[in-house]
């Protein structure tokens, strides 16, 4: 039976790409044999997926959980189903289309695909973002998921009591490697710099 690869969720801005963080992170995750799951859109989602997908001979796959453009409660409306413009990005290997339209500040609502991304991930890495990323971080904390927040400008420092908060990508990678070895646990009061 094939071994199950670890599924890493990467969340962050849907409009800004932060290539200095996303490119080396996506490359590293692919080289280590992880699978990547995100929202399949633009910004951080696309940039990290592109870097991941460009690694030659990678084993892992990019999984995108796509929102719907609108709520489609009736059969007639479902025949008109659409994903929002820009979804899925071209670097997504496995597209999971959902009927869930809520994004951004509504990301914790039950009609948001954020629940699927967070619950499916073995570990979540958050990069800078705004309201939507904040809701995903809050969901990860509520669901008790291991969580590493890359906070170069202190944007996620408020979550330091519930997650590992680091200032650099290298610190995040170091912490992830420790997690892979099972030491120490990721949740707790420590703020790893």
Query: How does residue 3 score in pLDDT terms, banded at 50, 70 and 90?
Result: confident
Give residue 187's pLDDT. Answer: 61
Q: What is the pLDDT of residues 66-125, one digit of tens each?
A: 999 999 999 999 999 999 999 999 999 999 999 999 999 999 999 999 999 999 999 999
- The whole-number pLDDT of residue 170 equals 97
pLDDT score, position 119: 97
Binning pLDDT at 50, 70 and 90, where does residue 13 land? Answer: very high
Helix axes 19-31, 44-53, angle to 10 degrees: 40
CB 172 within 8 A of CB 148: yes
Q: Distance between CA atoms of 165 and 149, rounded to whole angstroms?
A: 5
Q: What is the pTM of this model?
A: 0.93
pLDDT for 181 equals 87
C-alpha to C-alpha distance for 133 and 146, rounded to whole angstroms: 15
pLDDT at position 10 = 98
pLDDT at 193 over 50: no
Q: 2 pLDDT exceeds 90?
A: no
pLDDT tens for each residue of 136-191: 999 999 999 999 999 999 999 999 999 999 999 999 999 999 988 887 666 643 44
Residues 6+ apart with CB under 8 A from 96: 40, 63, 64, 65, 66, 116
Beta strand 35-38 with 94-97 is unpaired
* Pairing mode, strands 123-126 and 7-11: parallel
* Structural domains of the chain ordered from first start: 10-180 (3.40.50.450)
pLDDT band at 1 (very low <50, low <70, confident <90, very high): low
């Amino acid at each position: 039976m094939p071994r199950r690869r670890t599924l890493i969720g990467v969340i962050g801005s849907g409009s800004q790409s932060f290539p200095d963080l996303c490119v080396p992170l996506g490359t590293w995750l692919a080289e280590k044999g992880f699978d990547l799951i995100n929202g399949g859109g633009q910004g951080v989602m696309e940039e990290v997926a592109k870097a991941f997908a460009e690694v030659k001979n990678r084993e892992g796959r990019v999984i995108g959980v796509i929102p719907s453009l609108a709520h489609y409660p009736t059969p007639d409306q479902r025949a008109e189903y659409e994903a929002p413009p820009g979804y899925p990005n071209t670097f997504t290997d496995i597209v999971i289309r959902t009927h869930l339209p809520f994004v951004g500040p509504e990301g914790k609502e039950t009609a948001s695909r954020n629940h699927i991304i967070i619950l499916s991930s073995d570990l979540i890495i958050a990069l800078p973002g705004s309201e939507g990323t904040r809701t995903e971080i809050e969901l990860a904390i509520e669901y008790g998921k291991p969580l590493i927040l890359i906070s170069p400008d202190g944007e996620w420092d408020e979550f330091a009591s519930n997650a590992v908060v680091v200032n650099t990508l290298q610190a995040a990678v170091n912490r992830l490697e420790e997690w892979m070895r099972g030491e120490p646990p990721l949740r707790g009061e420590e703020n790893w710099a």
